[in-house]
Amino acid sequence: MAEISYYTKEGLQKLKDELYKLKSKGRKDISNQIAEARDKGDLSENAEYDAAKDAQGHLEAKIAMLETAVGNAREMDESSIDTSKVSVLSKVKIKNLKMGATFTYTLVAEEEADLKANKISVKSPIGKGLLGKKPGEKADIQTPGGIMTFEVLEIGL
């Protein structure tokens, strides 16, 4: 069975919109490219036809992946989020104990992660390490730069 992922309302809608776009416009565009390449003659030596068929395969694979993601997606109701511990959609303020710097991140599904918007995946090393922690607790997290220790300062929405 596939893994359930939790999304914000906006994140789930973005996923559905992308799927719709690929299924409608994306498939139509690829179909037109294949038809144009087919019109150019001998398919056995037609690089454009081969490229269009390749693109079609990639498009269908992405559609299948998005269909699976949407099928396993659940929209989180923010009113039901427990802010006593870090969970999906928690906005958590943490302190890097070595550097003394503080950061605020929202933990989101992998597909919604956007570091520029301070949204990190619950599947990232830091996201995994923070899950279940309460304010005042410390988390030793293995990162590419080595083990880092963070203290959870605040949890909110």
pTM value is 0.66
> What per-residue confidence (pLDDT) applies to 104?
94
For the chain, give percent helix, strand, coil, nearest 5: 45, 25, 30
Whether residue 78 has pLDDT greater than 90 = no
Q: Where are the chain's structural domains?
A: 5-75, 78-156
Q: Do domains 5-75 and 78-156 have the same CATH topology?
A: no
HSE on the CB side for 157, CA within 13 Å? 9
Asked if the 78-156 domain carries CATH number 1.20.1050.90, the reply is no
Q: What is the pLDDT of residue 109?
A: 83
Looking at every residue in the chain, the average pLDDT score rounds to 87
| pLDDT of amino acid 7 | 81
Q: Which fold has domain 5-75?
A: Helix Hairpins (1.10.287)
Specify the pLDDT at position 108.
Answer: 87
